[in-house]
Amino acid sequence: MTPHSASNITLSAWRSRFLLGLLLLGFFGLVGRAAYLQGNDFLQKEGKSRYSRIVETSERRGMITDRRGEVLAISTPVASVCADPRKMEASKEQLENLAVLLKMDITEIQARVSDKRRGFVYLKRRVLPEAAESVAKMSVPGVFLKNEFQRFYPTKEMAAHVLGLTDIDDRGQEGVEREWQEKLASELGKRRVIRDRKGQIVEDVEKIRAARQGQDLVLSLDSGIQYLAHSGLKDAVEKNKAKAGSIVVLDAQTGEVLGLSNLPVYNPNRRTTINDTNIRNRALIDTFEPGSTLKPFAVAVAMEVGQVNPDTVVQTAPGTLRVGRATIRDVQDKGELTVAQIIQESSNVGTAKIALALPAQTLWEMLSRSGFGMPADIGFPGEAKGALRPYKTWRPIEQATMSYGHGISASLLQLARAYTLFTTGGELKPVSLLKQNSPTMGQQVISRATALAMSNMLELATQPGGTAPLAQVNGYRVAGKTGTAHKLIDGSYAKDRYISSFIGYAPASNPRLIIAVMLDEPSAGQYFGGAVAAPVFSRVMTGALRMLNVPHDAPANNIVLFPATPEVEIEEGIL
């Protein structure tokens, strides 16, 4: 056969149709197979898992500010180093570099990515920006960065016990951060992305759910007053070698907390400084026997029922009072004292006599309505309610000692709140850690006349013959009460350990601030409330009133130096 004849060879018609049919059949088979593969859910899922990911997106937690807008807590963006163990491919040299950058052991990194069934693990949370940038430049397959937020507290330790702190996942663990977690917390979002073989995001496909930013929170705190309170307390604790201390500053008319500090304290930005001792917000969760700072309430209820008035004379001689088998003492026999002098000189005998003339139920109701024995409901985790036993269980000696602050316990916040009775015309105000934008309503406990009379008597405590001359404030009238109580330890009163306190307010003519100070076990020689707590009050009150531009209600040279009478204010308990 010649080449020419071969080129003329043709297939028969049926053979060409058969071949065409085979080709079409194969084509449709491929199309069908492709359609099957495209529509198979399992295969689709497996295919997408190789490149498609749903990743979480985050927004910042709500800011916490003081009443003037000063930032107290804020979340700042940081990067965390993560890995996909199924895709991680790192040489020994890369692992060594990662370990150096992340300040980790190679074995720890290898352990975290050892489970190849996992698609996500953290290698290191919240790394420094320089380290994150270096990790990104390494381009290790399966290693990537995740944007997160870290809580930062600009004021450091100054407001730590109020603010609290968050954990590594930005959830509130203490203080305001914990109590208002739902409001402050952000909500994670979700988006679908495409990653390359190295685990890096190369394309945003869709936003599934937008992340929601946390709501901001405005506290009642005033940063300026908070600084004054914290620094004043710190100096006093150090000077008097006290075991601990607390201070509370309230708006005398609204009950808002303008300042609150405790020592020991911690820095929430440095978690290594935190322990069980310094994390306690002692002003709210610790209780103590308030001592003589409770005397105004026993006298106030006696005036309220018409039993006494400020000029009523009470015989305190011979400086002791026998109640059953126990003896109540004043260190010095003062003879006849008016009710006003009993408050001024802090007489245990005089106060006990007034209290014993009252029905137990009447005294109990006064203390209960003043907020003792129940939490102040400030919205703080672990807040103490104190101890106020039912009046039906009281023995006469217990009724007597309770009038001067023994046999009852309260937190410093409860005591500060109770003194709103004398700054608002007899009304017990609610306390708040949040800024109030409208007037707050309280509960009327005593009459305006009784509140004013008691305020005048409390002012005498800082005047000649009083127990707290060191509480005076230049240019302002001050009212308040000292307390020096033997510390109750394991059911017994320790003879050489004291709780020293002062609670007062100014200007006495139109009260603006209440400040309560407590020092636990001062041991530098002085321990009377008038000597160790009253000066803290004076220092903080002076600065705060000046800061708030409160008008003067006394001459600029009103401070009179005179000896205090601390020996009569010490409460001996039941002897």
Counting residues of the chain whose pLDDT is more than 70, the rounded percentage is: 88
Question: Which pLDDT does position 162 carry in this prediction?
Answer: 96
Domains 54-91+119-218 and 223-270+281-571 share a fold: no
Here the tokens at position 513 are 């601030």
- So where are the chain's domains? 54-91+119-218, 223-270+281-571
For every residue of 94-112, which 3-state class applies, written as one string?
A: HHHHHHHHHCCCHHHHHHH
Point out the catalytic residue in the list 292, 346, 411, 500.
292
The DSSP call for residue 489 is E
Q: What is the mean pLDDT of residues 230-248?
A: 97
Q: What is the mean pLDDT of residues 260-270?
A: 95
The alpha carbon dihedral of 450, 455, 456, 457 has a sign of positive
In whole angstroms, give the CA distance from residue 414 to residue 377: 10
Counting residues of the chain whose pLDDT is more than 90, the rounded percentage is: 61
Q: Give the architecture-level CATH label for domain 223-270+281-571.
A: 3-Layer(aba) Sandwich (3.40)
pLDDT digits (tens, 9 = 90+) for 471-523: 999 999 999 999 998 887 877 888 889 999 999 999 999 999 999 999 999 99
Task: Give 571's pLDDT tier (boundaries 50, 70, 90).
Answer: very low
- Name the more confident of 216 and 574: 216
In whole angstroms, give the CA distance from residue 467 to residue 457: 12
From the CB of residue 209, how many other CB atoms can be counted at a distance below 10 Å? 12
367 pLDDT exceeds 70? yes
Question: Which pLDDT does position 15 carry in this prediction?
Answer: 74
- Rama region for 139: left / alpha / beta (φ>0; ψ in -120 to 50; rest): left
292 has catalytic annotation: yes
- Mean residue pLDDT of the chain comes to 88
Residues 6+ apart with CB under 8 A from 218: 65, 66, 67, 69, 434, 435
Question: Which pLDDT does position 362 carry in this prediction?
Answer: 96
Question: Which pLDDT does position 358 carry in this prediction?
Answer: 96
Out of 31-45, 116-130, 542-556, least confident range: 31-45
Question: Which pLDDT does position 575 carry in this prediction?
Answer: 33
Q: What is the mean pLDDT of residues 304-328?
A: 94
327 pLDDT exceeds 90? yes
**Residue 355 DSSP SS3:** helix
pLDDT digits (tens, 9 = 90+) for 486-498: 887 877 888 889 9
Q: Give the architecture-level CATH label for domain 54-91+119-218.
A: Alpha-Beta Complex (3.90)
Question: Which pLDDT does position 566 carry in this prediction?
Answer: 46
Q: What is the mean pLDDT of residues 320-341?
A: 92
Question: Which pLDDT does position 213 carry in this prediction?
Answer: 86
pLDDT digits (tens, 9 = 90+) for 150-197: 899 999 999 999 999 999 888 999 999 999 999 998 877 666 666 655
pLDDT digits (tens, 9 = 90+) for 61-74: 999 999 999 999 99
**Residue 484 DSSP SS3:** strand
